[in-house]
Amino acid sequence: MLQQIVFFLVSLAALGFAGWQFSKIRRNVLLGQPETISGNSGQRWRNVLLVAFGQSRMFKRWIPALFHFFIYAAFLLTQVELIEIFIDGLTGAHRFFYPRLGGFYVFVISFIEVLSLLALIATVIFLIRRNVLKLPRFTKPEMKGWPFRDANIILYLEIALIACIFTMNGTDEVLFNRGQSHAEGVEGLEGSFNFAVSSWLGPMLFGGIESESLLHTLERTGWWGHILVVFAFLNYLPISKHLHIILAFPNTYFARLKPRGEMKNMPEIMNEVKSMMGLGDGNGEGDMAAMEEELPEFGTKDVFGLSWKNILDAYSCTECGRCTAVCPANITGKKLSPRKILMDIRDRATEVGQKLESKDPQYAADPDKPLSKDNFDDGKSLFDYITPEELHACTTCNACVEACPVLIDPLDPILQMRRYEILTLSQGPGDWMPLFNSIENQGSAWAMSVDRDAWTKELTNE
């Protein structure tokens, strides 16, 4: 009975704390502007099934994709054993599903064990790739410090989880052979469990231990270790790049369905251009009134100007670096890294969220009003994280969008920040400004005094 009470309290504390942390992620995502997501729901669910569940985009590089799939599949199927641990923890019913599923239960647990063994091999390979081989996309400047440690921590937790699984199943196999298992006496259990891996690994590792109390201790250590590692992993996710394990599913569902080469139009700019060129509706009085109004803020300065989907993209980033690896600007030595852009957006959203949570009035734009996302000013913006040099290097080729395994669009926030810099701040690279000034003053990309429609007049004269 003591174990059930302790298990309940630990579970309640772990799940409650995790829920609180995930609520903060939701708050940070909602710092962005509203965005209506519409389109073919069938295509969206297809994206979820093929991209999020099926990992289809990972297999453009099939060797790392295969190893990643081993870890991913083991993670999903291990939840079956996790459910059984919860039942055991709350009721004391060990191997609850065995008498109900029989041989199918043995097959499922055996399949989990085989996948866990493959996942262990994949985890070791991933550690070698990051720490020994040091693949270029894992050693970019933005991956120094915490991002590098974060990737290793999750791999170490994976090893710990697999060790706990085989300790629990292996010692239980030995105990059951001796008639001392917690499952002893359960209807339908005879002989041994005959799980694919622990049926031979258990006796090999633990068969020489004569003390039954030590075996019971090891079995409970593996059992408690399994659930505690899961709880640790769950509470670690909100501060880790592995949050994509959860957010990849909504992110692929809400992904943009339009052609990748189609850029998002800004109605504010379109209306201003119509006003300047006299293309508005009606007699022009409405256009003149619009021009006399205060000009809107074009583009994006901070996370508040991005949409919630842009921020969701940032929190869904796997930091795999595939976007940066194919970016032509980065390949040619420029500062731009699409991965870093997303990491910066996520870090800025987290910073803003923490300051809003502090309720410190120094961050209020208007001290006489309560601190909120609409009344926030800490003197910083995304431009303190992302330099103009990075923004200017982007060629808008969409290679990063095409490469992302979870349908993230790094290009959209880059364009929005460039629009703010050029249209709101009237700043930009020196070699760009003559072009913009010429278009604004002459209606042409070239500084020519000839009207753009002059050639049509020649045709009519003929």
pLDDT in tens, 302-343: 999 999 999 999 999 999 999 999 999 999 999 999 999 999
Give tens-digit pLDDT for 208-223.
998 989 999 999 999 9
Give the pLDDT band (50/70/90) at residue 143: very high
Residue 298 near residue 265 (C-beta atoms within 8 A): no
pTM for the model:
0.87
Measured CA to CA, the distance from residue 110 to residue 272 in angstroms comes to: 66
Half-sphere exposure of 348 (CA within 13 A, CB side): 28
CA 89/CA 93 separation, integer angstroms: 8
- The reported pLDDT for the residue numbered 283 is 47
Return the CA Rg of the chain.
29
The model's confidence at residue 176, banded by pLDDT at 50, 70 and 90, is confident
**How far is C-alpha 375 from the chain's CA centre?**
28
Structure confidence at residue 462 as a pLDDT band (50, 70, 90): low
Interval 385-418: pLDDT, tens: 999 999 999 999 999 999 999 999 999 999 999 9
Q: How far apart are CA 326 and CA 342, in angstroms?
A: 16
CA distance 447 to 438: 5
Per-residue pLDDT band for 192 (boundaries 50, 70, 90) equals low
Is a pLDDT exceeding 70 seen at residue 280?
no
Query: What's the rounded Cα separation, in Å, for the pair 16 and 311?
Result: 24
d(CA 397, CA 52): 24
Instruction: Identify the pLDDT of residue 282.
Output: 47
- The stretches of 129-183 forming alpha helices (DSSP H) are 146-177
Question: Cβ neighbours of residue 197 under 8 Å, at least 6 residues apart?
Answer: 110, 113, 114, 116, 117, 166, 169
d(CA 440, CA 445): 9
Q: What one-letter code names the amino acid at 204?
A: M
Residue 156, exposed/middle/buried by CB under 10 A (0-12, 13-18, 19+)? exposed
Neighbours of 38 (CB within 10 A): 8
| Closest by Cα among 13, 3, 7 to 232 | 13
What pLDDT, on a 0 to 100 scale, did the predictor assign at position 157? 93
Domain boundaries, the chain: 2-30+61-253, 299-428, 430-462
Q: State the Cα–Cα distance between residues 442 and 362, nearest whole angstrom.
A: 46
Taking domain 299-428, whether its CATH number is 1.10.1060.10 is answered by: yes
Nearest residue to 188 (alpha-carbon basis) of 325, 302, 96, 78 = 96
Concatenated DSSP letters for 200-266?
HHHHHHHTT---HHHHHHHHHHHHHHHHHHHHHHHHHGGGSGGGHHHHHHHHHHTS--S-TTPPPP-
Phi-psi region of 32 (alpha: psi -120 to 50; beta: other; left: phi over 0): beta
**Tens digits of residue pLDDT in 69-88:** 999 888 888 888 889 899 98
> For position 438, what pLDDT does the model report?
80
CB 180, CB 215: distance < 8 Å: yes
Tokens at 394, concatenated: 């982007």
Q: Which residue has the higher pLDDT, 160 or 105?
A: 160
At residue 286, the pLDDT reads 47
In the 3-class helix/strand/coil scheme, how is 304-320 assigned residue by residue? HHCEHHHHHHHHHCCCC
| Cα(332)–Cα(337) distance, integer angstroms | 11
| Higher-confidence position of 125 and 286 | 125
Asked whether 65 and 59 are in contact (CB, 8 A), the reply is: yes
